[in-house]
Every structure is written in structure tokens, then in C-alpha cells.
With several copies, the nearest count.
Chain A
């Protein structure tokens, strides 16, 4: 067993620098690497490019890096749940590249799997395809999209072991699974670091080979963006 365990978030983020490109898992605030984000704020790395489906909210998630003006460029599919993001984007301080969500996911998967580029129908005929190569396959037009290149991927899992094996819970899986192994160094933080051999080899979502560093995370807030409930006698 190749041991990927590191002591804490400080050790896990050794080597992060300004001007780097980071991938960050999560959908909205669901499954975001809270510990890594806090540490990025503390380290105050500047002018970074962040690949993340969303950009957090004011005061939480990537919103923390935005407030601190650490982000030069965001690559996302859906943004603007926070005012600071909007302000920086409209003022031109922040560069924003909007990418269809499925394309974003596959650009991660392509990087993980060693594919340089892929053809997708998403975005054909829209400004997303501007300047990109297009091609007809079986009468349907496709856009050529390139794999992402990133220095670090920060992902958050439910459980993990020292071998780097990861298991996710619910919809907190999302982009976390696709970003593992898609950057030079993948750092996984887990809610529970379990003993080696306790995860069922049949049900490991990410084999440890895709993870370089893993640590026991702490103080998870796991905020809910849209708390929606039904009433006890509501019929569905």
C-alpha cells in the first residue's frame, strides 16, 4: 500500500503558489473542499485560476478567495450566487470563462484519462463555440474541447483511507470524482479517514492511484444553499 496520508491541510497544500491553476470539487456548496479553501485564503496565493462548477457565495466557499481578491480567472458553468463575484466581474477585475456543465465535467475526465480533447455537441452554434473547431459527425455538429490542465485538484470525499481510496456521499460526489487525477497533484480531504482495508474494494469511487495526498479534514460546516422542506401533511 502506497501511503498518501499527510498530517494536516498545511502539509497537504505544500507547493501551492500564486499564478497556479486549481480545480475545486463541489456543486454549489455541496461537497466543496472547505479545509483546502480556508488554507488557500491563509496562504494568500494570488492571481490563481480556479476551475469549479460554481463560485461559492458571499462569505463561504470560493467566495472567501474572491473577497480576498486572490482569483484572477474563474472557469465555471454557473456563477453569480454572490455579490462580490458580480462586482469583480462587471468591473473587469475578474476574468470569467463560462463552460457548459457537461463539457466542464468531461474536460476534467479527459485530463484524468489522458485524452487531449473531445468532440461534444454542447454549445455548437452559440458563442461558447466561437473560435473553436467544429465538425460534423453523422449529420450533427460538434465542438472540439480541450482537456483541462491544472496544478492542483482539491477534492472532498466522505470517507477515504491512507492508500488514497475515496468514497463519496450523495450528490456531494459531483465534480470531485472527475477532478481526481486531473491535475498534477490531487489533494483529497475527507470527513472520515478510515483504517486501510475497511473500504469495500468493490465500492471505491476513486482508486488511490488518482490521489497524491489525503488528510482528515475538520470543522466542516456543510452549509445548505436552498433549504427546502415539505410540510408533514403535504401530498406529493
Chain B
């Protein structure tokens, strides 16, 4: 079974040479730390920066240079700053190659819910609705089940949707799943996790075809 860092490490393997990548808040932010060093990737943040680097050293923080999580950041050579409309031109115009974000629920048809729990304080969708509506390559980083042990990999989402039919892959603490043809296709098991455990934790339709390898971490 993976922890959050394990999920981030596994997702980092999905990042290919030449990709522009948008990372959501939470586990996705960690992915940047585990991308291979021998490939070139640029990180976009929807508040208006392309070419994000690591956090600044203490004393070098600049209030004018933050990421979408409002964290102080640095930029790498070749970076650029731009306005919000241009930032979403990159996203809506499909110039960003990969979107990685968290979710509360994912359904077998690719629906995603990650912005609202009725009756609770709603923080808003931020840029998530724009991202999932336009991106063609969306990987969700999430726990397979909630704290009460209920599956978050569902037949249909119960929470208000963020986007419809858009998720292409899910990486959880238990498995890597591809979402297509109205089903979750099991691609890999987390280290030490059995197919039965994954099956039990999955409410949505799970397709298990052939040998299912364990993740190579």
C-alpha cells in the first residue's frame, strides 16, 4: 500500500519528456519532486506562471511570486509570468499536456467530484472545472477509500460534479486504474496489495484482464 509520497512517486512516472504539467494542490504538488532528472518538463500554475522551480531558500521569499496554492516559489530560466486569462488560454486551448489533481470521488464514466460537499463549508472550484473540462490527459491522485472505509472509486459520483467524463487515469494508495469504456481497468497493484483487496475497495466496475503487475517504484 502506498502513502501520499508513494502515490506522488508513481504519478511522476507518467510525466513524459516535453510535457507541460499543471499540478493541483495536495498530493499532486509533491509529484514535482519525483520527476526523472533526465527529461525536460515545465510546470504551469494557473495563477500565472510557467516554468516553476522549487521553493525559495529562507529569506528569498517574494510575496509577488507564488503558486496556485499561495505558496512562495521560485522560477527556472525560461520562465514567464502572465495574466489569468492567458493562463486559462493555455489550459482551455489544450496547450497543457497533463493535469494532475486530487478528487473526493471518481466514477467509472470518468466523472470527477472534488469541490463541494453539500451542507459543509464550500471553498470553491478554483481552476479545477476549467482544467478538467479541457485537458485530454487527466490523472487523479487520491486515496482508494475514505476514512470510513467507503470506496471513492464509484459507479456514479454522489457529490456535486466538477467535470463529466474527463478522468483518464487514477492512481490511489492501492492501484493504478485506467478509466475508459465506462469501467476502471486495473493496470497495476501497489506493492503488497492483492487484486482481491483492490476489488473489495472498488465500488465501480473493475476490469481485471490478464496478469496485473505490481508497481515498479
Which residues on the B side are within 8 Å of A232 (C-beta)? 57
Q: Which of B71-79, B148-156, B171-179, B191-199 contacts A (4 or more CB under 8 A)?
A: B71-79
Q: Which of B6-14, B58-66, B205-213 contacts A (4 or more CB under 8 A)?
A: B58-66
Which residues on the A side are within 8 Å of B129 (C-beta)? 100-103, 122-123, 126, 128
Contact for A98 among B60, B89, B124, CB less than 8 A? B124
Cβ of B64 and Cβ of A122 under 8 Å apart? no
Q: Which of B80, B134, B165: most chain A CB closer than 10 A?
A: B80
CA distance in complex: A197, B44 (Å): 17
Mark out the residues of chain B between 35 and 68 whose CB falls within 8 Å of any chain A CB in the assembled complex: 40-42, 44-51, 53-58, 60-68
The total of interchain contacts (Cβ-Cβ below 8 angstroms) comes to: 258
Cβ of B93 and Cβ of A114 under 8 Å apart? yes
Cβ of B163 and Cβ of A28 under 8 Å apart? no
Interface size class of B (residues with CB under 8 A): 35 or more
Mark out the residues of chain A between 178 and 202 whose CB falls within 8 Å of any chain B CB in the assembled complex: 178, 181, 196-197, 201-202
Name the distance in Å between A120's Cβ and chain B's nearest Cβ. 7
Residue interface mask B130-149, A partner, CB < 8 A = 1: 10011000000000000000
A30-B47, A177-B84, A224-B66 known; 8 new pairs, CB 8 Å cut-off, are A53-B84, A102-B84, A158-B64, A174-B83, A177-B85, A208-B80, A224-B63, A227-B61
Question: Which B residues are closer than 8 A to A by beta carbons?
Answer: 18-20, 33, 40-42, 44-51, 53-58, 60-73, 75-96, 111, 121-130, 133-134, 160-165
Question: Which A residues are closer than 8 A to B by beta carbons?
Answer: 1-3, 27-31, 53, 76-80, 86, 89-90, 96, 98, 100-106, 108-109, 111-115, 120-128, 158, 161-163, 165, 168-178, 181, 196-197, 201-202, 204-205, 207-210, 222-230, 232, 234, 236
